[in-house]
Structure 1
């Protein structure tokens, strides 16, 4: 998975005390690889950016540093997860913690593994993204039409080979 944070501005985002970006690993999964810009996180009291174990796998929560970011810049963090136990709607979270942030409504989002369709309208789901719509043609229909065209082509070839043509000048 690749959670990310984007600076919506207007100010330049600079280094802050404590982790700016936090990732909570979903239930039933284990982080087998973690971004080198993140380290296991338990609380601000224990956050040590200078001697932390950056990129250490296996934690349930990570604190991540954000590089100096102008307005519009996205900072992404790569994590590889292993599913240890299938848990329907297993959720984790990403959150941003910025001193002086005037709009905290856009500072968090869910990470959902194994989402369950609750039948909430077109595309399913409950309005939190749901499932992708089914688009395109039926594979069986396309294969059937292709088979008919192939048979018609072979039949046409056989008929033209059996006819004798004579050239009269």
Structure 2
């Protein structure tokens, strides 16, 4: 009698936790993706027509690793140019007047490319191997070119704000005064 009352008191979800439901077999029409077997306990998976072994992942050859490292290095090299449209739009939207926001944008436009140029070797040292040094030089040159383009956007903004001395009137302090060829005397 006491066992019967204990079973009635225990909720169903507690008994379901103690004994999980059986694994549902999946449809044979859709195979598992590579590397994801349907049963995690065994090393074989069952197919309706045949049994196949799951192949362990093979180690990449040094040539494949160099190719992958070169692709990643190109992604790093082209990253500065991907953020350039947004930077240019933000600089255009801030206007040409001297305000704190436009000054901060100009500061960031100069700081990021200069820091990137100074850290060129550190950005690519994890991708560089003895066999891909020549190809990495091309990647580094592309990275430097992208940083210079980003720096040019900052220079464009400074020029549009009127902070670059590009006109003759900006250099009047170094202009020599004109010597008059004639002089006039006032008659009294």
Q: Normalization by structure 1: what TM-score?
A: 0.29
Relative CO higher for 1 or 2, CA cutoff 8 Å, sep ≥ 6?
A: 1
Normalized per residue, which structure has more helix?
2
Larger radius of gyration: 2
Normalized per residue, which structure has more strand?
1
Q: Normalization by structure 2: what TM-score?
A: 0.26
